Amino acid sequence: MDAIREKRDASADQRKRTMGLLARATAAELQAGWQAVEPKPEVHPVRGPETGLIMVRGRVGGGGDAFNLGEATVSRAAVRLASGEVGHGQLLGNDREKARLAAIFDALQQRPEHRQTVLRMVEAIEGRIEVEDRLQAEQTAATRVDFFTMVRGDN
Amino acid sequence: MYVAVKGGEAAIANAHQLLADRRRGDRSLPAISIDQIVAQLGLAVDRVMAEASLYDRELAALAVRQARGDMIEAIFILRAYRTTLPRFGMSVPVDTAAMKIERRVSATYKDLPGGQLLGPTFDYTHRLLDPSLLTDEPVAEPLRRPVDEGSMMRVSDILSGEGLIEGDGQMPQDHVPGDLTREPLEFPLNRDLRLQALARGDEGFLLALAYSTQRGYARTHPFVGEVRIGTVEVEMDIPELGFAVSLGRIQVTECQMVNQFQGSTKTPPQFTRGYGLVFGQSERKAMAMSLVDRALRAKEFGEDIVAPAQDEEFVISHSDNVQATGFVEHLKLPHYVDFQAELDLVRRMRAEYETRAEAEKTGTMREAAE
C-alpha cells in the first residue's frame, strides 16, 4: 500500500512540477513543443479555454493569517485525449491558446509514448527560467552594499 | 434629481472621435505600443495594476494608453473590465519569505542576512534631468556579481527571535478573509479587510495620511524594518487534481514597518508593526500602506484616536480613487433640474427677504414719524 501511495505521490509531484513549468512557458515554447509531438493526438475540449480571475492572497504581516490582496487574470482549459486522459492547463494572463496547449501537454505527459517529449520540453523551459533567474540575481547582487567602517584617527 | 435629457448623441459621438484623435496625437510620430508601455513606463503600469486591484501588465498598459496617461482613468477602465470576468477561485497565500529578490533594504539592521540589495532604485540619484534621455543613446548592460546563496530572512523574524516584536497578524480562529469586492463594508473592519482596501487605495491619499502620522497626527515612531521587491509564486488548488499548482509568478512590494513599543502589565514591552503589500514595484505605496495600517490599529493597542489617519471609517471610505473620482466628477454631469429648483428657492428667499426689509423700513419710518 505504502509503495503504491509513494508512487502516486511521486507522479503527482512530477505532474505538479510539470504543470507549474507549463504555466511559465512562452507561447513560442509551447508552439515549438506542439510541433515536436508525433503522432499528433486527437484532442477534445472539455472546458474552455477561458479567462477569469483569481483572488491573490497575502498574509497579514507576511506570515500571519490570509487577506485578499487583489485579483489576477488567469486563463485555463481542460482537454481530453481520444485515449481518455484529461489534461488541465492554467496560467496567469490572458493567453487562452497557451492555456489550451498547456492542458494538452498535461494530458500527453500521462501517455507513456509522449511522456519523454513533454519532459524534454519542460526541462528546456526550466533551464531557460534558471538562466533568467540567475542573471537577475547576479545583477541584483552587484547592487549589494559592502559597508566599511571609517577608522577615526586619534591625532 | 436626474431626468432624461435627449439631444447629446451627436455631440457625444463627435467628442469621442475627437478624443481618439487627440489620444493618437501627431500622426507623423510612431504610435506607442503596449509592449513599449510595459517595458518603459513599467511603474505607471504597476500603479494602475495595484489600484485597479488587477494584476495584468498588458491590460494595465492598454488602460494607460487608452486613458492618455491619466492614471485614475486607467485604473477606472481596468476596474470596469475586471467586473466582466468570472472568478475561478482564491490563491494559496503568497509566500513573501520565498521571494526572488530584486531589491531589499532595511533601515534597522546594517548587516542583515542576505545583505542590503539596492536593486533598480531612484534612491541616491541626484534628481537632475538627464539630457541623454532626450535621444536614444545606448544603455550599458548592468553589472553582475556572484550570488551569495542563502535565505533572505525577513527582518521581522530576526526581532521575533528575541521576542522583542509582536508576531505576524493573527485573525480569530476559523476567520474567512473578508472580501470587499463581494460584501459591502461594515465598520468597524477587521485588519484583513483594511489591508485589502489599503492595497488598492490611492497612493497619493495614503502617502498624505502616512506623512501626517510622521508630522505628529498620530505619531507611531516608525522604522523601515524592511522593504523587499521581487517575484512570488501564485498557486491555486485544482479540485480535480487534489493539489495546488503554480500559475506563474507576480511581482510584489512588501514593507515591514517597525513601530514603537506597546506593553501592559500582562505583556512585556515590544515593538509593534505595520504591514504593506502591493502589486508590482511600488515602494512608496507599500511604505505608506504600512504606516497607515499601523495607525489604524490604534484601538487594538488602546491608543487615543486623535488624528485622521487613525479614523478607520474616514480612511477606508475615502481611500478608493475610483469611488472618489466618480462622486467628485459626477458633479459636472447635467444637474439642470436640481439647479432650477435651487434657483427658484433662492429667488423666493430673496423676495421674502426684500419684502421683510421693506416692511422693516416702513415700520421704522412710521415709528420716527410718531
> What's residue B173's pLDDT?
80
Stretch B274-287: mean pLDDT? 97
pLDDT in tens, B75-133: 999 999 999 999 999 999 999 999 999 999 999 888 888 899 999 999 999 999 999 89
Say if A136 is an interface residue toward chain B (CB within 8 Å).
yes
pLDDT in tens, B268-280: 888 899 999 999 9
Range ranked top by mean pLDDT from A106-115, B109-118, B239-248, B306-315: B306-315
Asked whether the predicted pLDDT for residue A28 surpasses 70, the reply is yes
Higher pLDDT, B348 or B270: B348
- Cell 494538452 belongs to A104
Asked whether the predicted pLDDT for residue A140 surpasses 80, the reply is yes
Percent of chain A at pLDDT above 90?
Answer: 80
pLDDT in tens, B17-40: 999 999 999 999 999 999 999 999
The one-character DSSP state at B301 is G
- Cell 447629446 belongs to B8
CA dist., res. A115 & res. A88, Å (int): 15
Residue B166's pLDDT band (boundaries 50, 70, 90)? confident
Could you state, in order of their start, the residue ranges of all structural domains in chain A?
2-141
> What's residue A147's pLDDT?
84
Cβ contact (<8 Å) for B196 and A70?
yes
Asked whether the predicted pLDDT for residue B265 surpasses 90, the reply is no
Scanning B40-99 for CB atoms below 8 A from A yields 49-50, 53-56, 58-59, 82, 85-94, 96-97
Residue A3's pLDDT band (boundaries 50, 70, 90)? low
User: Pairing mode, if any, of strands B54-55 and A66-81?
Assistant: parallel
Asked whether the predicted pLDDT for residue A6 surpasses 70, the reply is no
> What's residue A8's pLDDT?
65
Say if A76 is an interface residue toward chain B (CB within 8 Å).
yes
Asked whether the predicted pLDDT for residue A7 surpasses 70, the reply is no
Say if A112 is an interface residue toward chain B (CB within 8 Å).
no
Give the distance from residue A64's alpha carbon to the nearest chain B alpha carbon, in angstroms: 5
Cα dist from B3 to B10, B170, B333, B336, whole Å: 19, 50, 11, 9
Asked whether the predicted pLDDT for residue A155 surpasses 60, the reply is no
Give the distance from residue B20's alpha carbon to the nearest chain A alpha carbon, in angstroms: 25
- B324 phi and psi, to 5 degrees? -65, -45
DSSP-H helix ranges across chain B = 9-24, 34-40, 42-52, 57-66, 71-82, 155-161, 191-199, 203-214, 283-295, 312-318, 321-329, 336-369
- B327 phi and psi, to 5 degrees? -75, -40
pLDDT in tens, B133-165: 999 889 999 999 999 877 788 887 777 777 888
CA dist., res. B292 & res. B209, Å (int): 7
By Cβ distance, the residue of A16, A64, A140 closest to B119 is A140
Cβ within 8 Å of residue B119, ≥6 positions away: A140, A143, B101, B102, B103, B104, B229
> What's residue B226's pLDDT?
95
Cβ contact (<8 Å) for B177 and A52?
no
CA dist., res. A33 & res. B1, Å (int): 61
Asked whether the predicted pLDDT for residue B2 surpasses 60, the reply is no
pTM summary value? 0.92
CA dist., res. B242 & res. B246, Å (int): 13
Name which of A17-26, B2-11, B196-205 the model is least confident about.
Answer: B2-11
Residue A142's pLDDT band (boundaries 50, 70, 90)? very high
CB atoms within 10 A of CB A139: 18
Say if B34 is an interface residue toward chain A (CB within 8 Å).
no
Cβ contact (<8 Å) for A57 and B156?
no
| Helix, strand, or coil (residue B329) | helix
Asked whether the predicted pLDDT for residue B284 surpasses 90, the reply is yes
> What's residue A125's pLDDT?
97
CA dist., res. B169 & res. B174, Å (int): 14
Q: What is the rounded average pLDDT for all residues in chain B?
A: 92
The yes/no answer to whether this complex scores an ipTM above 0.95 is no
Cβ contact (<8 Å) for A62 and B240?
no
Count Cβ–Cβ pairs < 8 Å, chain A vs chain B: 237
The one-character DSSP state at B97 is G
> What's residue B6's pLDDT?
73
